[in-house]
Each structure stands twice: as structure tokens, then as C-alpha cells.
Amino acid sequence: MLSVSVTLARENEPDVTKRIVFQKTYREVRAASVNNPQAVAGAMSEAMRSVSERIIADVYEALSRKG
């Protein structure tokens, strides 16, 4: 299982309540084809690929809404 939390914040926003632009946790489960390090690394790579695609789309949408 892979879990990644992403938070985008405005660096120079004086109002703390307006700093967070985007925050979300992503989880993906991928089974390794066999029980060895190479298979586990491959499964984690696939999980990260899937999560990365969702992060890119969600961040793009969030930033597009903010104008």
C-alpha cells in the first residue's frame, strides 16, 4: 500500500485561514506478482504512477479554480 499526502500552501499569505490551497491524501494498493524485492518495487512503482496521475489532475483543477 502506498499513501501520499499533498499540501499546497501560499507562501506569503498573512491570513492563516487562506494559506492552504489544496490538501488531500491519496492511497493505492498494488499486489506484488511474487514475493521478492523486484516485484514489490514494481508494484510500488505502478501505485506511484497511478497516484501521480491523480495528483497532477487534482492540483491542476484546484489551481484553475483559484484563478
> Binning pLDDT at 50, 70 and 90, where does residue 39 land?
very high
Query: Could you write out the DSSP letters of every residue in 4-65?
Result: EEEEEE-TT-S-GGG-EEEEEEEEE----SSSSHHHHHHHHHHHHHHHHHHHHHHHHHHHHH
| pTM for the model | 0.82
For the stretch 9-18, pLDDT in tens is: 999 999 988 8
Check pLDDT > 90 for residue 51.
yes
- Note the pLDDT of residue 65: 85
* CA-based torsion, 12, 16, 17, 20: positive or negative: positive
Neighbours of 4 (CB within 10 A): 15
Check pLDDT > 70 for residue 34.
yes
